[in-house]
């Protein structure tokens, strides 16, 4: 790439202090997969007795590492596990070479850490269609193993970045039956972000005790309301993956725990919104709340139609309260709508109702609200009880500049 873009104006002030997860250690190195002078490979080692779960993109052109992870994730095992990730090259649309490169990397990690190869999960992110120079990664496995440290999760977050302008992390701690349960997660994602599971990689670690099937069901469900409810540019990556490891080292069984589910939901939502905050060229974080639809599914269709509309997103970038573009996006979505029942709000400002601009609406109020860095657009269809919330960002000249230079 021509250079790392400036830090997003929506970025958190600093990387959070995350709880250490007993049974998980991290390392990161510079392997020169594509980038010079920055860490680009991370390794996480996970203790024996841990369970793994995950969700993955449904793209028809899934990368070789995604297919490999999907083939492994449903197996139960008492052996330890590992996650190895490289940035700079997606190892996607690389045919037989992609399969061989993935196996070379996972086999090398398995040998170094004395693990079954079926317990090594890999991800690759970056440019599509170029062979992965896997020898650069395997040459660094010994160095990664030597550097493994329970405190090095931030280094891991740095290593998985591509066009991200900052490393992303989130964590939580809760009390379950007098025992402290910790959750820590990292993510990467900035562009090519759209639900399914909206180039995004997510790794979450917890010391909770839970059966693999129960963890899988929980993560799959929570994914719908978090990573599958964000969009930056409507483009779904070939590489989207979320992996979660539960070591059980806290001794706290969280099966059926409402508190654990809420904490995990919070971590996942935090990471998902950080991805939107770092949307390529973004200057606005936008929450779209759709209510009054015939069904929740219809509400989601309307929300995504608004969130993915270039006309809506450029109006937001220009701080223009152009509610007509919201109406347009609703009308084209394909879900049920009645023009004369619609109401639209920008924050607390009622903009339109009953199929027309609100008689009390003042353009200067709408324009003033649109200057905020974080916006809420509310739409009520007036048809039923269906509702959905999705998050997006604006579309600026920065998005074009970043993506025009992506392979330069």
d(CA 392, CA 229): 9
**356: burial class by Cβ within 10 Å (0-12, 13-18, 19+)?**
exposed
d(CA 205, CA 246): 6
Sign of CA dihedral 209, 213, 214, 217: positive
Residue 404 vs residues 1, 13, 46, 165, 400: alpha-carbon distances, Å: 10, 28, 39, 17, 6
Torsional class of 326: left (φ above 0), alpha (ψ -120 to 50), beta (otherwise): alpha
Written as tens digits, the pLDDT of the chain (408 aa) is 445 567 888 889 999 999 999 999 999 999 999 988 899 999 999 999 999 999 988 777 888 999 999 999 999 999 999 999 999 998 988 888 999 999 999 999 999 999 999 999 999 988 888 999 999 999 999 999 999 999 999 999 999 998 888 999 999 999 999 999 999 999 998 654 444 444 579 999 999 999 999 999 999 999 999 998 988 765 556 678 899 999 999 999 999 999 999 999 999 999 999 998 887 778 899 999 999 999 999 999 999 999 999 999 999 999 999 999 999 999 999 999 999 999 999 999 999 998 899 999 999 999 999 999 999 999 999 999 999 999 999 887 766 765 566 545
Gap between the terminal Cα atoms of the chain: 5
Q: Which two tokens stand for residue 99?
A: 């399969």
d(CA 235, CA 161): 18
Torsional class of 96: left (φ above 0), alpha (ψ -120 to 50), beta (otherwise): alpha
Catalytic residues: 199
Q: pTM (2 decimals)?
A: 0.90
Q: DSSP letter string over 307-327?
A: HH-HHHHHHHHTT---HHHHH
The residue whose two tokens read 């995604």 is: 66
């Amino acid at each position: 790439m021509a250079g790392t873009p400036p830090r997003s104006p929506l970025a958190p002030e600093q990387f959070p202090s995350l709880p250490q997860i007993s049974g998980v250690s991290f390392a990161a190195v510079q392997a020169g997969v594509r980038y010079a002078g920055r860490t680009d490979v991370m390794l996480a080692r996970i203790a024996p007795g841990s369970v793994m779960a995950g969700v993955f993109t449904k793209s028809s052109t899934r990368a070789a590492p995604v297919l490999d992870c999907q083939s492994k994730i449903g197996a139960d095992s008492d052996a330890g596990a590992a996650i190895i990730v490289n940035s700079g090259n997606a190892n996607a649309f690389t045919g037989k070479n992609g399969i061989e490169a993935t196996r070379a990397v996972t086999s090398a990690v398995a040998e170094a850490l004395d693990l079954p190869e079926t317990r090594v999960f890999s991800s690759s992110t970056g440019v599509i269609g170029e062979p992965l120079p896997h020898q650069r990664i395997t040459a660094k496995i010994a160095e990664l193993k030597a550097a493994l440290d329970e405190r090095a999760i931030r280094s891991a977050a740095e290593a998985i970045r591509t066009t991200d302008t900052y490393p992303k992390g989130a964590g939580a701690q809760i009390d379950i039956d007098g025992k402290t349960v910790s959750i820590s997660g990292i993510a990467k994602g900035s562009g090519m972000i759209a639900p399914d599971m909206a180039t995004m990689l997510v790794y979450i670690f917890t010391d909770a005790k839970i059966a693999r099937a129960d963890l899988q069901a929980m993560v799959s469900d929570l994914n719908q309301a978090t990573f599958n409810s964000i969009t930056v540019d409507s483009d779904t990556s070939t590489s989207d993956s979320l992996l979660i490891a539960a070591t059980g080292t806290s001794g706290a069984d969280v099966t059926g725990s409402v508190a654990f589910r809420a904490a995990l939901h919070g971590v996942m939502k935090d990471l998902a919104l950080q991805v939107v905050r770092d949307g390529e060229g973004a200057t606005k974080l936008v929450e779209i709340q759709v209510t009054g639809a015939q069904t929740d599914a219809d509400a989601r269709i309307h929300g995504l139609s608004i969130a993915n509309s270039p006309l809506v997103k450029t109006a937001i970038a220009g701080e223009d309260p152009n509610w007509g573009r919201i109406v347009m996006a609703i009308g084209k979505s394909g879900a049920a709508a009645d023009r004369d029942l619609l109401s639209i709000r920008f924050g607390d400002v009622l903009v339109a109702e009953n199929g027309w601009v609100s008689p009390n609406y003042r353009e200067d109020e709408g324009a003033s609200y649109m200057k905020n860095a974080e916006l809420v657009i509310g739409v009520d269809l007036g048809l039923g009880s269906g509702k959905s919330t999705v998050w997006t960002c604006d579309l600026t000249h920065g998005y074009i500049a970043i993506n025009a230079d992506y392979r330069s």
